[in-house]
Amino acid sequence: EQLARAAGAVAKVIAKEGKSATLKLPIREVHLISKNCSATVGQKSLGRIRSKCWLGKRHIVIGVVMNLVDRSHRGGEGRAPI
């Protein structure tokens, strides 16, 4: 099972007792795992510069400044109220 794999996600070891350890996950869930489990420690970066585009962050152009062929309420005289 893989826990806290996303960039910025953190899993903290709360307690160690016997052969198990207690982890607190980013979703405020507590997991009891074996001490024999392996883990990779470190931070995952966002990677390449294009990765911000993959996060869904895109520029916004309002309809008033678009080309007329690109907007849903086309044409007319002057500025449209939308």
Contact 32, 47 (CB under 8 A): no
- Cα separation of 60 and 25, whole Å? 35
- Cα separation of 52 and 61, whole Å? 18
**β-strand partners of 64:** none
Q: Which residue's entry shows tokens 């400044």?
A: 65
pLDDT in tens, the chain (82 residues): 788 877 778 888 999 999 999 999 888 889 899 989 888 777 666 566 666 666 666 677 777 777 777 776 666 666 656 5
pLDDT of res. 43: 67
Contact 51, 13 (CB under 8 A): no
pLDDT of res. 42: 74
**Domain residue extents for the chain:** 12-70
| pTM of structure | 0.46
